[in-house]
Amino acid sequence: MFENKTTTELHTLGEFGLIRHLTAQIELQQQSSVRGVGDDAAVIDNAGMMTVVSTDMLVEGVHFDLSYMPLKHLGYKAVMVNLSDIYAMNATPRQITVSLALSSKFPIEAVEELYNGIYAACAKWKVDVVGGDTTSSKSGLVISITAIGVAHKDELVYRTTAQEKDLLCVTGDLGGAYAGLLLLEREKEIYKSNPGIQPDLEGNDYILERQLKPEARGDIIPMFKEMGLKPTSMIDISDGLASEVLHLCKESGVGCNLYEEKFPIDPMTFERARSFNLDPTTCVLNGGEDYELLFTIALGDYEKIKGNPHITTIGHVTNAAAGYNLIIRDGSVYPITAQGWDAFRKE
């Protein structure tokens, strides 16, 4: 890890010097990583396994706000966002590439902090950094990460294969990341109006971590194998539960019933949502950035997940003609509409 003690402008190293500086500490952990950083391309030997590739881009001012996002957390989150997509395929990530567009406002020590977070995330899930790119930017920081994973062909799970009567399940709890974002945005506005007021974040560690330092659910994939369970379909929850369940159902050509009373909501998420005069269910359905897994299982596999503290059954799959429905606590039925993140929605 880098230890930032001074401030060094980027031009003192130049592009290739910066790459060498940031990647000199890399030690490859995966046997499949034949060649990493330092050549025209990485070389990966997956020995007959299916290769799974996903790319996500994070743009300053769109996906993150550096007024409250520490660079180390940002690096960590950027990796987790990508690994989550690989886990959603029931696959195992092995390598990533990292591409950055940087403005001159960032000294080398700031970029080191970013990479400290990237390397911490990679170390947690034993993922190798095997390449990438750097360039200049006139509009802030852009991070693009490509994750490369593997799975046996018969282990892969898609979002197109949910079946009528399957159970809909989620990992963890939902809505916390959005509650954390609301809190951070509130304190930012207070600070802007009066810089003498310090942010009041005490007692909110859980929802702040859900927003600033989320964890991809890499623990779930080996758990499935231990339980002898293969989901019939799966997707990660990055844009809100409503958006993801609609993606999964429409891709599979099915409908669904979700039950509000079944939604897993952490008490802190519930309390903070109420303090913002929000229904906690709104945070679950439309908040996003939880990076939990939404998946379906055959009805006959229910006993395999019953009582598992990491998994909650929240509904079931219906035929397409029945539509996409939310059954609230009083029994009323409402159509599910997606109001989560959409990069190109008009304000």
pLDDT of amino acid 313: 98
Task: Find residue 133's DSSP bridge partners.
Answer: 99
Residues 321 and 255 sit within 8 Å (Cβ to Cβ): yes
Does position 164 have pLDDT exceeding 50, yes or no? Answer: yes
Of 204 and 45, which is predicted with more confidence? 204
Whether pLDDT at 11 is above 90: no
Beta strand 324-327 with 254-259 is parallel
What's the rounded Cα separation, in Å, for the pair 243 and 159?
13
Compute the distance between CA of residue 147 and CA of residue 196 in angstroms, rounded to an integer.
42
- pTM value is 0.87
CATH code of the domain made up of 167-335: 3.90.650.10
Measured in degrees and rounded to the nearest 5, phi and psi for residue 54 equal: -145, 145
pLDDT of 204 over the 70 cut: yes
User: For residue 315, is pLDDT > 90?
Assistant: yes
Report pLDDT digits (tens) over 31-72.
776 665 554 444 567 788 889 888 899 999 999 999 999 999
Compute the radius of gyration of the chain from its Cα atoms.
Answer: 21
Q: How many residues does the chain have?
A: 347
CATH of domain 10-155: 3.30.1330.10
DSSP-derived 3-state class of residue 34: strand
**Contact by Cβ (8 Å): 126, 83:** no
Domain boundaries for CATH 3.30.1330.10 within the chain: 10-155
Residues of each domain in the chain carrying CATH 3.90.650.10? 167-335
Kindly report, residue by residue over 177-203, the tens digit of the pLDDT: 999 999 999 999 998 888 888 888 999
3-12, 54-63, 132-141, 312-321: the lowest-pLDDT one: 3-12
pLDDT of residue 80: 98
132 in Cβ contact with 100 (< 8 Å): yes
Give the number of other Cβ atoms within 10 Å of residue 236's Cβ: 25
- What pLDDT is attached to residue 50? 86
